[in-house]
Chains A and B, each alone.
Chain A
């Protein structure tokens, strides 16, 4: 397709840049300083922006893409080459294809992951995948990195953290169980622990990651208790020292406010007997007194760290003599004195997990992650109903996800959310066919992570117990926008010690694709998997053509031309179209 050349592309000095960027008055910009007079100042932001282009503004919001793009971008971290074609082959129409894809992703045990497995094996992480038995795993982590018996001799508590960070990237980039990765990220943020809180947490966080993964398609109540008694959570929210003599309410407060009922069901400093009851006689929400009473229920929930003959294993350890043995009342549930070990706390977890308020709160969060920032109420209601009705089912969460993912709204909503930095980074590497396994003791990995960590979404590093925000308002901030642009434009230059690019743009471009028109169309399809707005496509073509006929082949023996091709891919990765989810 022939495209007219815009001759303004030539001669791009800094000054020209400013002019083209809407700085028409920049002619007065000189080395000696600027002249302030006679500037036609736009009257507002909109006016300034409209001047960038001669034509009237386009609408900007994207149209609904094929279902495969929605599935790969919201149930996963974006398509890799071949994924969209594979999705298209799943059925005769989008609803059918979606049903098959959702069913596959909800049954991760049947998904093969040979590339991921070989990359993980090649990376040789010492602390990852030691055992699928949670207690064996956490005892090993404790022994190796707290009690300094790691076989490698590197006993730093940073090692399990750094390996988990690296392996999480590798799983997200190369794993086929994409929904597992998305939901693991969701639950790790739901039960947020700041991995850099302390050396104990740095070491034991990977155990929490494991218990969440083991229950990822399972039961919320089970996951809730596994997290509540994880070493990382016990330490992060201080429950490990909470005792009858000195109760610490930090964990119990966040258990109610963040892990289960949510602050939408918090009624403040009322007394328990002032809370209205629902149709089934349950309090409609919780008050501070419920937090205080629950705190008593969890006294003694601790872990073994080498006091009072507890064995110093890092395992969960119930300190019976620290437990408040008397009767309690939580959320209308009477808890008699002197119950069996752990029963008080488990009664609280039962009351919370079965409360319809928890179902509503978590269904809303899941829909916010999977559909849009303000998800349709009917889908929330449907998911919440399944969550509460199935609260004891072993596949409760799978049923809840299925309700959301099989909704028409999931398949017909697009562009209400944008990718966050982790999603941008991973999807860029997936789309651009990166060949990069993050490893320890690798300066290229360190270079990548140091740039990634500037984006504001350093993995597992949100300091407060509420987790990274999941709404676009937060991520439209300029720090993540600028830093992810920088990261994307750095990735296309990212190479190893032998100057091999990790994102090999030219190597992945068929030799028959050499003209600016062909190059633009090939890489638009590779990065975005759908056509661009014609004006935007023209922008990409013109960038690549730089004044020559865009149907003429380019010669990549010229280093400048190769640089320009990489820069064109960088441009696509920095484009608004790449950000929509």
Chain B
């Protein structure tokens, strides 16, 4: 299927919504092939700059010495109650990745359990090879998929959806942007539904007996060709879609317990919409609060530890919730990628915090993760640091995402999705079939590179 008909995705295509209302259906109903079409990519962005050096830290050798010297207070210890959890002979994991809320019954897996079960791949020293320590530029570069360029009119996930050749011609909910605003990685996508929870994504408000008539009128008022009318009409479609396909309330499966707060709630929205079986392929979720210039917490504890705990519990709950058997074995189709705009400086500052850095850890979780630690550890000796201060970047973040796109999502249009990115080879974070990456020269001249500033400054 060519890229142009890809725009024929019908997010909440009204006819299809009605046709399938009240039933749960599988994408096979549309005649698509089952593999790898049904894979689901959940992209989680940790906003503010995750301190990756306290999530995955050296536990032995010379780098342990550099780490302890640079972080005499903040460093995660290798002994005691907050001791790092072993990942391999050189590196450890923050201890808060192995906690679970007290409760009865058998505790489901923690994130560290998932690592040990090879459902979690860790990529060290990943990021952008760019000289920029701005949060906002760095986030935009990453999410647009064009490091160095802010004017790109579409996000990398938008271009994935536009170029994937293995998606059925109609799909009700190809993409879900969870949160108050649609993420830049889905910029320019008319395929995405942006919401926080299906429970509040409804027009079940106002004088009861006139709601239906209002909706009809709304349809007609929003029926015109401007960008505003079109986005309103898409929103009305999405409301129909969500109202018709989600019931009241949600109970996580398999004993999963999501952490309180918006991150856990938003992950729960993702799981709920996946289980609705209306074709979800891509979801985006944010988790903020990582800009820890101050009061990060000493010796593996404090604010950062609590925040890592929320992250780890959320990820583990999502995995557990989706890890049923048979038709409910969603984890076999699930790949979660966790990234942040940059890492933080090796040296702690005087406020028990860390300032903006460079290389960082990325996490890839899913039923097809290969597990283990990946990438090249660049070392922490002074002459091994970026700008004499930060962990170096040895793996381009686009390499990890490209591997997930090719091996899990079956999309080799890397040139269109990450224009300018060259030399891809798989790192080995997920299982799947390798495809020769298309450099995108044909598509790239088709307008993807144009920065349509009129819509998306």
Contact = CB atoms under 8 A, between A and B. Distances in A.
A472 interface: yes
A564 B210 contact: yes
Given A26-B18, A571-B218, A45 B207 contact: no
B455 A543 contact: no
A570 B207 CA distance: 10
Given A18-B18, A373-B454, A481-B231, A566 B207 contact: yes
Contacts of B132: 266, 268-269
Contacts of B180: 456, 477, 479-480
Contacts of B293: 237-238, 248-250
A22 B11 contact: no
A267 B240 CA distance: 47
B21 interface: yes
B289 interface: yes
B224 to A, nearest CB: 3
B7 A493 contact: no
Contact of B234 (A26, A45, A258): A45
Given A543-B213, A563-B209, A374 B349 contact: no
Nearest to A486: B205
Interface in A214-258: 237-238, 241-243, 245-250, 253, 257-258
B424 interface: no
A40 interface: yes
Nearest to A291: B133
Contacts of A61: 226
B187 A563 contact: no
A517 to B, nearest CB: 16
A381 B213 CA distance: 49
A520 B62 CA distance: 78
Interface string B228-251: 111111111111100000000000
A21 B207 CA distance: 20
A456 B13 CA distance: 26
B153 to A, nearest CB: 9
Contacts of B231: 476, 481
Interface stretch (A47-55, A75-83, A382-390): A47-55
A471 to B, nearest CB: 5
A247 B231 CA distance: 47
A41 B355 contact: no
Given A34-B20, A543-B217, A263 B14 contact: no
Interface residues of B, number: 96
A579 B228 contact: yes
Contacts of B240: 18, 21, 23
A39 B18 CA distance: 10
Interface in A528-581: 535-536, 539-540, 542-543, 546, 560, 563-564, 566-567, 570-571, 574-577, 579-580
Interface string B426-457: 00000000000000000000000000011111
Contact of A36 (B13, B25, B205, B209): B25
A18 B216 CA distance: 8
Contacts of B291: 250, 464
A546 to B, nearest CB: 7
Interface residues of A, number: 109
A536 B221 contact: yes
B196 A479 contact: yes
Contact of A49 (B25, B48, B221, B223): B223
B298 interface: no
A270 B132 CA distance: 10
Contacts of A580: 228
Contact of A263 (B134, B179, B203): B134
A563 B206 CA distance: 9
A60 B228 CA distance: 8
Nearest to A577: B221
A59 B225 contact: yes
Interface string B164-187: 000000100000010111100001
B349 A248 contact: yes
B451 to A, nearest CB: 11
A37 B216 CA distance: 26
B232 A25 contact: no
B200 A486 contact: yes
Given A21-B236, A486-B200, A571-B218, A563 B207 contact: yes
A485 interface: yes
Listed from nearest, the 5 A-B pairs whose CB atoms lie closest are A246-B350, A60-B226, A60-B224, A456-B180, A489-B206
Interface of A: 9, 12-14, 16-18, 20-26, 28-29, 31-36, 39-45, 48-50, 52-53, 57-61, 237-238, 241-243, 245-250, 253, 257-258, 263, 266, 268-270, 288, 368, 373-374, 415, 418, 454, 456, 463-464, 466, 469, 471-483, 485-486, 489-490, 492-493, 535-536, 539-540, 542-543, 546, 560, 563-564, 566-567, 570-571, 574-577, 579-580
Interface of B: 7-11, 13-23, 25, 29, 47-48, 130-137, 170, 177, 179-182, 187, 190, 193-196, 200-203, 205-207, 209-240, 288-289, 291, 293-294, 349-351, 353, 355-356, 387, 453-457
13 contacts: A20-B216, A26-B21, A29-B21, A34-B20, A245-B350, A373-B453, A473-B455, A481-B232, A486-B200, A539-B221, A560-B209, A576-B226, A577-B221
